[in-house]
Amino acid sequence: MARTLTSDELNGVKVYPATSERWKDIETLFGTKGAYGGCWCMFWRLNRADFNQMKGEDRKAVLQDMTSRNEVAGVLAYADGQPIGWCSIGPREDYAALENSRILKRVDDTPVWSVVCFFIAKGFRRKGVLSNLLRGALRDAEDQGARVIEGYPIDMQTQNLAGKTLTGY
């Protein structure tokens, strides 16, 4: 039975785990480009060599396989029954590129869940959906036993990113 994470504080946004019965909604939300550049939210899940070798359809197949087995892939946000947002959240060890990162090393052996990606549909950006989606994702992770959850913010003022914008948020 699918869990729903609704409450008044989520302002009418409903958040559900990305399971097999929601695959069509993931496809609808991500569109033909797989959210951004054919990523299908696999950038952190796959090791870099595999990610770079794969194309969009291959990455899509990995995400579809995860959801078909009801593995933790992320959560979807809905407004009026329409998928409007995505958050990739799961146990850190499920993110190969993150586990192999020299910059984002684990700080200790504590079991950790990671929030690594968001995607918000164009018509719903800058309306507070991301905050509601994150709250729902955190609740879902806690319901599954997560006790420590971490994220990896990006400093948009660094030399490499200054003046650029992120899309999909």
Q: Please, what is the average pLDDT of the chain?
A: 87
Q: Percentage of the chain with pLDDT > 90?
A: 70
Evaluate the CA torsion angle 168, 87, 22, 60 in order and state its sign: positive
**pLDDT tens column, 20-76:** 999 999 999 999 889 988 999 999 999 999 999 999 999 999 999 999 998 888 999
Only one residue has tokens 């190969």, namely 96
Supply the pLDDT for residue 166. Answer: 56
Q: What is the pTM of this model?
A: 0.85
Give the residue, 164 or 72, on which the prediction is more confident: 72
Residue 129 has pLDDT above 60, yes or no: yes
Give the residue, 59 or 4, on which the prediction is more confident: 59
Write the CB contacts of 96 (distance below 8 Å, at least 6 apart in sequence): 44, 45, 46, 47, 50
Residue 7 has pLDDT above 60, yes or no: no
**Three-state SS sequence of 93-155:** HHCHHHHCCCCCCCCCCCCCEEEEEEEECHHHCCCCHHHHHHHHHHHHHHHCCCCCEEECCCC
> Could you give the strand order of the β-sheet that contains 75-79, starting from the edge strand earlier in sequence?
14-17, 75-79, 82-91, 113-120, 149-151
Question: What is the spatial distance between Cα 76 and Cα 118, in angstroms, rounded to a whole number?
Answer: 10
Q: Is 67 helix (H, G, I), strand (E, B) or coil?
A: helix
Give the residue, 7 or 25, on which the prediction is more confident: 25
* Domain at 8-151, CATH from 3.30.360.10, 3.40.50.2300, 3.40.630.30, 3.40.50.720: 3.40.630.30
- Domain regions of the chain by residue span: 8-151
